[in-house]
Amino acid sequence: MRTLYVRVVLTFLVIMIISLLSSSIVGLVLFQTKLNRLGQEEMTEAGERVIRLYELTRPRDLDGFLTHTSKLISYPLILFRDKDHYRAYGRELKELPSSLDPQAVRQVLDGQAYRSALRGVDELTVGLPLAAEGRSYGLFMLTSSKNEMTILQFISAILLMVLVVGSLCILAAARYLVKPLQGLTAATRELAKGRFNVELQAKRQDELGELARSFNAMARDLKRLEQMRQDFVSNVSHEIQSPLTSISGFAEALKSPGLTTEESRARYIDIILSESGRLSRLSDNLLKLASLESEHHPMAARTFHLDENIRQVAVTLEPLWSAKRLNLQLSLPPALKIQADPDQLNQVWTNLLGNSIKFTPEGGKITVDLIPEDDEYKVTISDTGIGIPPEDLDRIFERFYIADRSRRSGSGSGLGLSIVKRIVLLHQGRIEASSSPGRGTTFTVRLPRNAVPAPL
């Protein structure tokens, strides 16, 4: 009773029954008067033919004539000699119908035709005067119960056939509609179990086909996200395990004073501190990404000079690019104001410049350009580093994705560019990357001048 298939069928049956009943009632209300009028006209014609036949044949036995005549027509007959004496032919009457009141009988006996009302009577009646055997009679005709029963049986049979055929059709149609939903339910259970290699048939062009195509796209995205999650867990585990192994090994060495010198002891301590800092940076990046993706990330927007914001980052990173003898060129027009979160944008420039410094060989070149355009600023950071492989370029901003060059570098968790893109999007901006392996990479950031963080 709770399945959609049964509900569809039962709903159809209820609708069909209500529709048939209501249409029958409305049809009777609209056409009852017309049908009754046509019935009375036929009864009148039949009565006139009976009277004409009697006048032509003039049988001696009126009672016998009416007895045989009632068997030839479909309408019962009632013959009144006066208002109190009558005889019925073709049907046994226990009592007269309400339409045959004394006034109607008197009217026909006086030589006038009579027709009962079309509504509000239990049976249609037609009365005609009949002159026979030297006196006046009143010949009344009633509606035929046989005809009415036949018509009712015919209409009932049609309605029943409509209901049966409609039910069979809705059984097939409901199965046609429910079967894709059953497949979708089974596929959803597979997804819930972590099995993402499911695909529904999407050949239909209706809403169910669109739903199947959307489900297939969702399953592919979930499969890709699951693979990314597994890769991320694997990479983060590796990133954590590597410094932990170093820390553990050198800590064990420090516990054996007879096996280490003062010089090696200091070097071991430096390594432990370095690896601890690496773990700290990894956890910090994870926390930042989680915070940026939450609905309650703090954003403090204010007006400041964007050129100074970028220049401060370049000065902060000077030990890094100076140590590699990199040529850092800044093209920053002065006094370019922007309304944004300076700390968040500082993180953007730090990550992008840090990547350029990390992957640009010694003696290379890094260029930073700030260009005002209409209602936004365009910031490009270009380097002459190792570049990004084409297969990685389209995915470097994805969460949990680590490009090959990050793996080769032996440091980084692949979260930096994800953090950068999230911050830029929160400031209603855009970021793009272009690269040629072996020739360098260019990141382009576009920020509106009023880069107030968008509400989450």
Mean pLDDT of 48-53: 91
Mean pLDDT of 102-130: 87
Determine the Cα angle at 28 with ends 26 and 33, to 5°.
125
**Quick one: pLDDT at residue 285?**
65
- Say yes or no to pLDDT of 34 above 70: yes
Mean pLDDT of 382-411: 70
* Dihedrals phi, psi of 310, to nearest 5 degrees: -70, -40
The rounded radius of gyration (Å) of the Cα atoms in the chain is: 49
- Say yes or no to pLDDT of 2 above 60: no
Q: Render pLDDT for 312-352 as a digit per residue (tens, 0 to 9).
A: 999 989 988 999 999 999 999 988 899 998 988 998 999 89
Residue, of 232 and 90, whose pLDDT is higher:
90
- Say yes or no to pLDDT of 448 above 90: yes
d(CA 7, CA 201): 24
List CB contacts of 159: < 8 A, sequence separation 6 or more.
Answer: 20, 24
d(CA 71, CA 271): 123
Which stretches of 110-206 are DSSP H helices? Answer: 145-192
Q: DSSP assignment of 96-114, as one string? A: --TT--HHHHHHHHTT--E
Average pLDDT, the chain: 81
**Quick one: pLDDT at residue 408?**
43
List CB contacts of 279: < 8 A, sequence separation 6 or more.
Answer: 240, 243, 244
- Say yes or no to pLDDT of 179 above 60: yes
Q: What number of other Cβ atoms are within 10 A of residue 278's Cβ?
A: 19
* Dihedrals phi, psi of 88, to nearest 5 degrees: -100, 145
DSSP 8-state class, residue 282: H
Beta bridge partners of 128: 139
CB 123 within 8 A of CB 97: yes
What domains can be seen in the chain, in order of their start residue? Answer: 4-148 (3.30.450.20), 207-290 (1.10.287.130), 298-448 (3.30.565.10)
E strand or H helix at 207, and its extent?
A: helix 207-254
**Quick one: pLDDT at residue 194?**
76
Q: Render pLDDT for 220-275 as a digit per residue (tens, 0 to 9).
A: 888 877 777 777 677 667 667 767 887 888 787 777 766 567 777 787 788 888 77
Structure tokens at 266: 């200091």
Mean pLDDT of 209-224: 80
Query: How far, in Å, are 3, 140, 173, 206 from residue 200 at the CA level?
Result: 21, 74, 20, 14
Structure tokens at 334: 């002065």
